[in-house]
Chains A and B, each alone.
Chain A
Amino acid sequence: MSGPSTYVPKSGFEQWLDKRLPVMRLMHDSFIDYPTPRNLNYFWTFGAILTLCLITQVVTGIVLAMHYTASVDLAFDSVQRIKRDVPFGWLIQSIHATGASMFFLAVYIHMFRGLYYGSYKAPRELLWIIGVAIYLAMIITAFLGYVLPWGQMSFWGATVITNFFTAVPIVGTPIQQWLMGGFAIDNPTLTRFFSLHYLLPFVIFGLVILHVWALHVTGQNNPDGVEVKDKADTVPFTPYATVKDLVSVAFFVLMFAAFVFFLPDALGHPDNYIPADPLKTPPHIVPEWYLLPFYAILRAIDFSIGPISAKLGGLLLMVGAIGVLVALPWLDTSKVRSMRYRPLARIFFVIFVVVCGALGWAGGQSPDKVIWQSSSFRIEGQATGPGGAAQTYVGAGVTLEAAEKAFEKEKAKVVAAGAAPQSSTVTTPFQFKVTQFSQLLTLYYFAFFLLILPILGLRETPGRVPETIAKAIGAKHAAAAAPDREA
């Protein structure tokens, strides 16, 4: 993508520097004169937003580490001290905690953007895979960080997650104990999680450099999904992309600030304000919102498949949900990159986004919650009347408990009338619970990648793809100039 360098060192110092370490040339060619497709929309500004998020998390995190104490006896109090006593600690802690959510919000938009416009397709497969690696590192970092305040959700979240490993046959339990540094989540676990939580952002930083490098080798994709052919298709990064990025960043920071200042706890769980208690499990353990879809997939598997237990099956699917993204460049068989020109794929994509959102909802609910049931519970009892005549009586209710209560009432009436109750039968209605809903959603999640995208690419008739970016823009402008003609 990057053609011959256009950097011209001006001052004597710049010339001196350029012969020894051409760092100014690198910056100039990457962020000033770098040719960007001229049809990029605002979805292409999330790279800049994510860079900002990473820097924010690293800077606030380094500051928090100055005041935080990684010890089971002091961790909870030290976080409270940061919030109450440390100058501006309330602000910095709030930015860091909210920042995690903002980071994931931005990365999800960034990923759905890549999915819609086919940014994972050749020659950008590796760029996409590095992105998946960054996402995975982000998930691990976020999980480790959530344990550090040592609240109830921290502790029990860590317990549930490390318990995943026991699902793996034979080596599972030793791996779990190795990760925890003991037989339960305790001080050794907290100190290592703190150490790794500090390390991983730098790993992410390294991956981001590779991500940007790969991006600058292949060049950016664009909403039309047409490769850049000549200079008419591009504009220089500065000022065009830079200014567009800044506008987007400004709006994003505005929303970020709204959460930091007005809703600092809106995205967290209230139980994390209770210090960790290894003897008391919160009634409903949930991860942070950005991991709920995976939690729903994990819990969707409540049946065993041959030798694979429900626990292991759920774990495999949850890992597979991210793993399938790595294979995506080879699963999508369509020659057309952008879904702007794939009318059928676009519909399946919209369903996919809705399914991901629904999985997130399901992950936050109790798995036994009934979404819909065919009728009420019915208990029918038979009794023999005083004269030997058979009679029946019925108790019904939305839940089994309600039906039983109504049934007992009817029974009392029958007994009062002198009849002897004989037997009873319970009619259970069909219930559609969160677990079944999660199963359907999980099925679509995997079908989208493993069935729909491979088959659709071979079967669908795509729209007419413009030859060049310049022509795509020309056509759009012509349509805009003469809107009456179409009407």
Chain B
Amino acid sequence: MIKGETHGTASNDPRGGLKDCGDAPLARGLPIFPALRAKPAVKLRILVKSWGSSVANHASPAANAETAGDEPTRRDFIYVATGAMGAVGVAAVAWPFIDQMSPAADTLALSATEYDLAQVPEGQQVVIFWRGKPVFIRHRTPAEIAAAKKDDAASMRDPQTDADRVIQANGQPGKAEYLVVEASCTHFGCVPTFGGGSFGGWLCACHGSVYDTAARIRSGPAPQNLIVPPYTYTSGTVVKIG
């Protein structure tokens, strides 16, 4: 397809040597000397050999890498060293362009939020945002807590007791009446709705995962219980999430 050079014959072409490039269509279009084109293959061979002989050199320290033709030369060492430095340089330049996509400082700055649980009446729940994600805060009724406690020993996919579900980030026990969980189904991230499913808790309508009153996975495809975000009570009913 590239036929630009068909007009200049090899004899009057100042670059010369093009005839030797063979018939490969790409090579015909590029003014590269055959010697240079042949080099990479030789280079590779030397590199492979130098790997082997460097191992051998440990065995016989008398061997001199500078002498024989097949042995790696100082120039080969420079090739490898330059290539290695180049690779490090490329990685160093690439990293800022990759890392810029990570959560930015202002996004991370939002990673803690405070909320006064006293605002939530018993039997109700609120949804607040933490790190841009919705979080359920449910003020559980005694009946809900009792139902969750009753099932503590039941067979579950992700077994946890009800007490474990309301534990604070510092390991202190939390308040059983306030359940704080991320409002995204551990299957594919849909928001479950309370009051669905046969365990009195949440139902994710997307693929039918059912959570109980402690937001533990009881049936459906989700692999885990709804995630409890790290939180601590700062005073009385004020909770700090994150």
Contacts and interface: CB of A to CB of B under 8 A. Distances in A.
A279 B134 contact: yes
B101 A179 contact: yes
A184 B191 contact: no
B205 A283 contact: yes
A311 B220 CA distance: 12
A421 B133 CA distance: 50
Contact of A181 (B25, B107, B187, B205): B107
A285 B102 contact: no
Given A22-B3, A184-B132, A278-B134, A159 B189 contact: yes
Instruction: Tell me the dominant secondary structure on chain B's binding face.
Output: loop
B79 interface: no
B197 to A, nearest CB: 13
B1 interface: yes
Contact of B190 (A18, A26, A156, A367): A156
A386 interface: no
B2 interface: yes
B206 interface: yes
Interface of B: 1-4, 6-7, 25, 101-104, 107, 111, 127, 129, 131-134, 183-184, 187-191, 204-208, 221, 223
Given A177-B103, A184-B133, A216 B1 contact: yes
Contact of A5 (B6, B129, B184, B191): B6
Given A183-B133, A188-B104, A285-B206, A279 B1 contact: no
A278 B132 contact: yes
Nearest to A161: B188
A163 B133 CA distance: 13
Contacts of B134: 278-279
Nearest to B190: A281
Interface string A255-294: 0000000000000000000000011110111000000000
A159 B3 contact: no
B226 to A, nearest CB: 14
A18 B7 contact: yes
20 contacts: A26-B3, A156-B190, A179-B101, A181-B107, A182-B103, A182-B131, A182-B132, A183-B107, A183-B111, A183-B132, A184-B133, A186-B107, A213-B1, A278-B132, A279-B134, A281-B191, A281-B204, A284-B206, A302-B221, A368-B208
A299 B207 contact: yes
For the complex of A and B, 7 pairs with smallest distance between CB atoms: A183-B131, A281-B190, A184-B132, A163-B189, A184-B133, A22-B4, A160-B188
B106 to A, nearest CB: 10
A399 interface: no
B205 A281 contact: yes
Contacts of A182: 103-104, 107, 131-132
A26 B25 CA distance: 13
Given A188-B103, A216-B1, A311 B133 contact: no
A58 to B, nearest CB: 24
Query: Which of A179, A181, A217, A284 neighbours the largest number of chain B CB atoms within 10 Å of its CB?
Result: A181
Contacts of B133: 183-184, 278
A311 B223 contact: yes
B219 to A, nearest CB: 12
Given A26-B2, A182-B132, A311-B223, A280 B191 contact: yes
A309 B217 CA distance: 15
A178 B103 CA distance: 7
Interface in A154-192: 156, 159-160, 162-164, 177-184, 186, 188, 192
Contacts of A83: none
Nearest to A368: B208
A217 B25 contact: yes
Contacts of B127: 279
B132 A19 contact: no
A32 interface: no
B132 A192 contact: no
Nearest to B129: A278
Contacts of B190: 156, 159-160, 281, 285
Interface string A129-167: 000000000000000000000000000100110111000
B207 A178 contact: no
A2 B26 CA distance: 13
A5 B6 CA distance: 9
